[in-house]
Amino acid sequence: MSTYKAIDSRKVTTRRLLEMKERGEKISMLTAYDYSAAQIIDAAGMDVILVGDSASNVMAGNVTTLPITLDQMIYHGKSVMKAVQRALVVVDLPFGSYQGNSKIALESAIKVMKITHADAIKIEGGSEIRESVERILSAGIPIMGHLGLTPQSINKFGSYAVRAKEQAEADKLLADAHLLEELGCFALVLEKIPAPLATKVASELTIPVIGIGAGGGVDGQVLVMHDMLGITQGFSPRFLRRYADLGSMMTEAVQHYIADVKSQNFPNEEESY
Ligand code: KIV
């Protein structure tokens, strides 16, 4: 198994991500929602930590990302920020906190930045959220865009299938990507779209494009921590590579502990005062 040690120990900034794209160094990004996991992920050398609204699924057990609230995202963001020294930390603005009203969007973004001390926020969508993007950026808050499969719109899509396979949707995605760059977003996530389209977006944009289910032709990759560590059960999309089977390891360890308690093998004399 190959391991990684970050060569550059300086804090990752939006500027440094741009430099990474320029010199062809791929950007690593992973989700975290709590202090302990963020500490491990940051010390391992991750470039970007995303406090994703996927917390709604993997932390709170909701079916979609829609129920998570701004205050819950702030709680996760604060916990992560206490642990991180090097990675750039991005916090997702949740569903309902930025769509349709740019004043509310700015208030939400400011609240996240003020309370969590995160480095940036991420929001989903293109031209529909233009005003919110402009208003948040006008306050000096860095934005990571998110196009393709945008889980906050799952009820509109009706499924988690690959997006932008049809020409009209691919054209809109490309136009939205250019728009987000022109408005001033510092990076873009592309989720579950055909690899050739993602490669085209990454080659046309100067800002870093991070993919999830978008092939290898982009500037970096992001995964949900619980999925890649094998904690999530019953979720195995084609794009997901499992780097560990922590679910099985945890089950085994927990059952070992239960057996030791039942058999009075734990605690022994050395573990007692
Ligand atoms: O919330 C999240 O984890 C995300 C990633 C899937 C990119 O937005």
Q: How far apart are CA 273 and CA 261, in angstroms?
A: 17
CA of 196 to the centre of ligand 1 (A): 21
Token pair of 63 as six digits = 């079916």
CB 146 within 8 A of CB 123: yes
53 ligand 1 Cβ < 6 A: yes
Active-site annotation holds for 19: no
pLDDT per residue rounded down to tens, the chain (273 residues): 677 877 788 999 999 999 999 999 999 999 999 999 999 999 999 999 999 999 999 999 999 999 999 999 999 999 999 999 999 999 999 999 999 999 999 999 999 999 999 999 999 999 999 999 999 999 999 999 999 999 999 999 999 999 999 999 999 999 999 999 999 999 999 999 999 999 999 999 999 999 999 999 999 999 999 999 999 999 999 999 999 999 999 999 999 999 999 999 999 999 999
CA of 47 to the centre of ligand 1 (A): 15
Dihedral of the alpha carbons of 97, 103, 109, 115, in degrees to the nearest 10:
-100
219 ligand 1 Cβ < 6 A: no
Q: Say yes or no: domain 14-242 is CATH 3.20.20.80.
A: no
Overall pTM > 0.85: yes
For 88, phi then psi, to 5°, come to -80, 130
CA of 151 to the centre of ligand 1 (A): 8
Ligand 1 nearest atom to the CA of residue 29, by list position: 7
pLDDT (tens digit per residue) in 64-106: 999 999 999 999 999 999 999 999 999 999 999 999 999 999 9
Token pair of 128 as six digits = 């529909």
Given 181, 191, 270, 271, which residue is catalytic?
Answer: 191
